[in-house]
Structure 1
């Protein structure tokens, strides 16, 4: 499944980002894996928060 309507908000200078999926689509393993791989590549911690129909993926820079 595709992840549509991704909103990217940069929190501060270290490029920590919030990816907010606005619709109620399920994240497929491939798409989630791609995000996890990117997080690992840039040494980010991955936190997934489910709130009602929204899914927030928080990438926190660990540098």
Structure 2
């Protein structure tokens, strides 16, 4: 079953922000600026701001 729905600009922005966070934190880990964390922990960190009502902006 396919969906005709497209991602909203807000969800696109959230996905980019999460990917950027993960990339940044992986670089910090690689460069020794942060202890190693498994990818599921980094994914959780990246998703937290998306679900935080204080970061969603005006309704």
- Range of TM-score over shorter length: 0.3 to 0.5
With structure 2 as the length reference, what TM-score do the two structures score?
0.33
Q: Rg: which structure is higher?
A: 2
Which structure has more strand as a fraction of its residues?
1
With structure 1 as the length reference, what TM-score do the two structures score?
0.31
